[in-house]
Amino acid sequence: MSDESTYYVPEQSKYPIAAATGFGLMAYGAASWVIDSSNPYILILGTLVMTVVMCMWWNTVITENMQGLANAQLKHSYVLGMLWFIFSEVMFFAAFFGALFYLRVIVNSWLGGDAAIGIFDDTPTDAAVANNELLWPGYQAQWPVMETPDQAANGDAAIFKGPDQAMSFPGWSNILSWLPLWNTAVLLTSSFTVHIAHTGLKNNNRKQFVTWLGITVALGLIFLVLQAEEYIEAYQHMGLTLDSGIYGTTFFMLTGFHGAHVTLGTIMLMVAFFRSLKGHFTNDDQFGFESAAWYWHFVDVVWVGLFLFVYVLD
Amino acid sequence: MAHGPATLADGWKAYISRWVFTTNHKDIGTLYLWFSFAMFILGGAFAMIIRAELFQPGMQLIKPEFFNQMTTMHGLVMVFGVIMPAFVGLANWMIPLMIGAPDMALPRMNNLSFWILPFAFAILTSTLFMEGGGPNFGWTFYAPLSTTYAPESVNFFIFAIHIMGASSIMGSINIIATVMNMRAPGMTYMKMPLFVWTWVITAFLLVAVMPVLAGAVTMMLMDINFGTSFFNAAGGGDPVLFQHVFWFFGHPEVYIIILPAFGVVSQIIPTFSRKPLFGYSSMVYATAAIAFLSFIVWAHHMFTVGMPIAGELYFMYATMLIAVPTGVKVFNWITTMYKGSLTFETPMLFSIAFVILFTFGGFTGLMLSIAAADMQYHDTYFVVAHFHYVMVAGAVFSGTAAIYYWLPKWCGKMYNETMGQVQFWVAFIGFNIAFMPQHFLGLAGMPRRYADYGLQFADWNMVSSVGAFIYGGAQIMLLFNVIMTIRKGKPVVEDKVWEGAEGLEWTVATPAPYHTFEKPPLYK
């Protein structure tokens, strides 16, 4: 609720309309680009406008804060804004996780012809059996889907082909060469290191804060490098691509969006790191860092879900 | 700007930059409302084209391909361009006034949320002029119609939806932050006006489901352009997956549209009944209950898709549950009027019509929720009639009521009551002539989204088209009425424009000054 100091309401701002223009250009440009890949120019222009505006906008917000314009109430608005933004991100991933569960559990058994009537009766329904026999004869429900229904029914004439190899748990003997495990270790560690940095800031221990924040950024970058390596391996050695059936689809979309969010989180932490070198943030004024840290914990939690449902559980 | 907002007298440049660069919640509210009305005319024009073509059987005016684009664009524009922005505009104007806040919590982001919309709708509308035409797969854009068989312009549609969604999420976060953080001292949650309550719950729904819509269109984008197989069984996906993801967004979406309308009506009926709202806390809980239930009933839109019987039964019973909190609301509105000292000014007329017609639409919804019966009703004009009763007589009527109710506070002029009441009756009669017959058409088996129909449907289609044009005319009267009020309306001087009105928004001067509550008021 309001306190007595005045809430800072800027009179006018040129940033929003510039951002909206950049955003509109990005949308129009992205659509033009997917239709005609030789025309990425509008998209690039929009992205540039957007990047410049965002840098300027946040710069202004930081400057305002350092001038003391942001009272406690305004800072709380920023906190609420960030938390609800993270919630919206959670829901974005929920859509993809929901799709994954539905595809793995329900769709797969329908295509394979063993979808049952209900929880207490596992006799396949006639419809499911017919679905399999008439449309996708020979398809066996399986996860990861190595042979797509298209391949089962049409053999080499199939358009949708499964991967040669999946990224799933390779067995205990090969576990040390399994990149996802290392990625998990790196990302989970980074959640601890960012927490150590946070504790350092709260206790006015600047050295601890800056050092561990730097380590977190480094871990974020290592994660991204490892994921790039994983993708290269998938594309070059495992025949696992974005278009290799539903396994490739869900694998790359889920890990890809997660990777995009890690990239964003790393950039946020990096900005916080450079600001911390300039002496920004105190134990009672640290929204910029704290929001990046919350975001980082969020991408970490998403990764745990990914690790379980995309990589480990068959 | 110590001298207040720029007017036309300050020159064009200053005037335009006022609106483009503004961070003022009242300016942004006004922008939202005018944008919404402009889109209302566009979406209405699409509807008129549809009804003109359906006036007689056979193809008279347009080609079937274009008809499909019209039904699609009509739905998209009305849902995303008219009703949602209209209520966001009302929220911008009224929430800070109602809770005693100096402005919205994040004023610059507020401006960004609005200015994304003109770009989004420019992109969406431009698809109509593209090769292969605009989106033609219905506003629900089911795969594979919207993927495998879609025109190329679907990519523009997808990105337009993306930025609209971003706009909605930012707008909603702003509303949540405003309500949670900016209430005046003494304005506890359970003292907030119901319009604020319904909006904060709506904002929560929006933040929860707009990202899911973004997910759905992203999957489409990938399927169309990058060889994924989310919605293609050949690769191990399923077109039904699209429907699940879409309706997980889509069902909360229809409550996003109607909850703020509940809020508006809950402000107006007590004012003209000169009694406090009956059962305030039960209204709050009912709103929350409806919002919660909206997340767990989505597949009632998919009864005919081939779900297992257990799924059909679950979604049927869960859907019927919604009638309980909705019934609580209708009961409370009626009980508020009971033994009240009623007068029937235009906002009240629209609100009473809302209660009656929304209840009617709610009952047809209850009919549709019966899975077995839905096998007959599904995708017929009965469904079209049902959702126009709740969206037009629900959301649009309450939006109109809100405009008449708060217009004097906004511009300091009183609208012409006679003109308002005439507009109400034209709208009310036109609406019912347009949509009541569609129930009969649907029950007789006329499918929705068809450009042509059998002879047995001719009479009621003709009646429906006549009604639609009358209803369209009523909107021109509304526009005329609003413009006349702003230009030549009788000045209002009282802070409390309506005798029976309660709340902080009636304690500020009329017209509402550019900046209000710079020092928070103490609310008792």
How do the domains of chain B map onto residue ranges? 13-506
Three-state DSSP class for residue B490: strand
B chain contacts of residue A246, beta-carbon cutoff 8 Å: 229-230, 235-237
Which letter, b or e, does each residue of A85-99 get, where b requires 16 or more Cβ atoms within 10 Å of its Cβ? Answer: bbbbbbbbbbbbbbb
B193 touches chain A (CB under 8 A): no
CA distances from A297 to A83, A188, A293, A301, B398 (A): 12, 9, 6, 6, 43
R_g (Cα) of chain B, nearest Å:
23
Task: With CB atoms and an 8 Å threshold, state whether A27 touches B219.
Answer: no
Which residue is catalytic, options B53, B103, B223, B312?
A: B103
Which residue is catalytic, options B266, B287, B369, B398?
A: B266
Is the confidence metric ipTM above 0.90 for this complex? yes
For chain A, the straight-line distance linking the first and the last C-alpha, in angstroms and rounded, comes to 50
B chain contacts of residue A10, beta-carbon cutoff 8 Å: 23, 107-108
Confidence of residue A123 (pLDDT cuts 50, 70, 90): confident
Task: With CB atoms and an 8 Å threshold, state whether B115 touches A17.
Answer: yes
For B:323-352, CB contacts with A below 8 A are none
Cα(A143)–Cα(A162) distance, rounded to whole angstroms? 11
Confidence of residue A175 (pLDDT cuts 50, 70, 90): confident
Averaged pLDDT for residues A229-246? 95
Task: With CB atoms and an 8 Å threshold, state whether B23 touches A13.
Answer: yes
Active site residue B244: no
B208 touches chain A (CB under 8 A): yes
Averaged pLDDT for residues A90-118? 92
Question: What length is written for chain B?
Answer: 524
Task: With CB atoms and an 8 Å threshold, state whether B108 touches A6.
Answer: no
Indicate whether A139 pLDDT > 70.
yes
Residue of A nearest to B244 (CA): A99
Task: With CB atoms and an 8 Å threshold, state whether B234 touches A17.
Answer: no
pLDDT tens track for A36-89 = 999 999 999 999 999 999 999 999 999 999 998 888 999 999 999 999 999 999
Provide the β-strand partners of residue B414.
B490
pLDDT at B523: 86
Write the DSSP assignment of chain A as a string of letters. ---SSPP---SB-SHHHHHHHHHHHHHHHHHHHHH-TT--HHHHHHHHHHHHHHHHHHHHHHHHHHTT---HHHHHHHHHHHHHHHHHHHHHHHHHHHHHHIIIIIIHHHHTT--EEETTEEEEPHHHHHIIIIISTT----SS-SS-HHHHHHGGG-SS---SS--S---GGGGGG-HHHHHHHHHHHHHHHHHHHHHHHHTT-HHHHHHHHHHHHHHHHHHHHHHHHHHHHHHHHS---TTSHHHHHHHHHHHHHHHHHHHHHHHHHHHHHHHHHTT--BTTB-HHHHHHHHHHHHHHHHHHHHIIIIII--
Cα(B211)–Cα(B162) distance, rounded to whole angstroms? 9
Cα(A270)–Cα(A291) distance, rounded to whole angstroms? 13
Residue from A33, A80, A129 to probe the interface with B (highest B Cβ count within 10 Å)? A80
Residue from A62, A85, A92, A291 to probe the interface with B (highest B Cβ count within 10 Å)? A92
B20 touches chain A (CB under 8 A): yes
Indicate whether A234 pLDDT > 50.
yes
CATH superfamily of B13-506: Cytochrome c oxidase-like, subunit I domain (1.20.210.10)
A154/chain B closest Cα distance in angstroms? 10
Which letter, b or e, does each residue of A133-155 get, where b requires 16 or more Cβ atoms within 10 Å of its Cβ? Answer: eeebeebbbebbbbbbbbbbbbe
Indicate whether B232 pLDDT > 80.
yes
Residue of B nearest to A89 (CA): B211
Indicate whether B2 pLDDT > 60.
no
A276/chain B closest Cα distance in angstroms? 25
Strand bridging mode B413-414 / A121-124: unpaired
B202 touches chain A (CB under 8 A): no
Whether B514 contacts B95, CB under 8 Å: no
Among B3-12, B282-291, B437-446, whose mean pLDDT is lowest?
Answer: B3-12
Active site residue B253: yes
Task: With CB atoms and an 8 Å threshold, state whether A81 touches B306.
Answer: no
| Pairs across A and B, CB distance < 8 A | 244
B185 touches chain A (CB under 8 A): yes
Residue of A nearest to B225 (CA): A34
pLDDT tens track for B447-482 = 999 999 999 999 999 999 999 999 999 999 999 999
Task: With CB atoms and an 8 Å threshold, state whether A95 touches B235.
Answer: no
Active site residue B301: yes
pLDDT at A4: 52
A chain contacts of residue B127, beta-carbon cutoff 8 Å: none
For chain B, the straight-line distance linking the first and the last C-alpha, in angstroms and rounded, comes to 32
Considering only CA atoms, which of B161, B139, B156 is closest in space to residue B76?
Answer: B139
Residue from B181, B305, B312 to probe the interface with A (highest A Cβ count within 10 Å)? B181
Cis peptide preceding B511, ω within 30 of 0: yes
Averaged pLDDT for residues A198-206? 95
Indicate whether A2 pLDDT > 60.
no
Indicate whether B1 pLDDT > 60.
no
Which of A6, A10, A103 shows the shortest C-beta gap to B23?
A10
Whether B406 contacts B193, CB under 8 Å: no
Which of A12, A87, A108 shows the shortest C-beta gap to B236?
A108
B chain contacts of residue A73, beta-carbon cutoff 8 Å: 181-182
B123 touches chain A (CB under 8 A): yes
Whether B16 contacts B447, CB under 8 Å: no
Active site residue B389: no
pLDDT tens track for B297-307 = 999 999 999 88
pLDDT at A173: 87
Residue of B nearest to A99 (CA): B241
A214/chain B closest Cα distance in angstroms? 31
Indicate whether A8 pLDDT > 50.
yes
Which residue segments constitute the domains of chain A, with CATH numbers given?
12-69 (1.10.287), 73-98+168-312 (1.20.120.80), 108-157 (no CATH)
Averaged pLDDT for residues B206-231? 97
B166 touches chain A (CB under 8 A): yes
Three-state DSSP class for residue B512: coil
pLDDT at A1: 44
pLDDT tens track for B394-408 = 999 999 999 999 999
Which residue is catalytic, options B253, B312, B345, B374?
A: B253
Indicate whether A6 pLDDT > 60.
yes
Considering only CA atoms, which of B473, B34, B87 is closest in space to residue B263?
Answer: B87
Cis peptide preceding B144, ω within 30 of 0: yes
Helix axes B280-294, B239-273, angle to 10 degrees: 170
B chain contacts of residue A240, beta-carbon cutoff 8 Å: none
For A:114-153, CB contacts with B below 8 A are 115, 117-119, 125, 127, 135-136, 145, 148-150
Which DSSP helix (H) or strand (E) runs through B71? helix B64-76
Active site residue B3: no
A101 touches chain B (CB under 8 A): no
Task: With CB atoms and an 8 Å threshold, state whether A23 touches B102.
Answer: no
Average pLDDT value over all residues in chain A:
93
pLDDT at B318: 97
Task: With CB atoms and an 8 Å threshold, state whether A23 touches B166.
Answer: yes
Averaged pLDDT for residues A302-311? 95
pLDDT tens track for B149-189 = 999 999 999 999 999 999 999 999 999 999 999 999 999 99
Indicate whether A124 pLDDT > 70.
yes
Indicate whether A118 pLDDT > 80.
no
Residue from A14, A34, A85, A146 to probe the interface with B (highest B Cβ count within 10 Å)? A34
Task: With CB atoms and an 8 Å threshold, state whether B234 touches A149.
Answer: yes
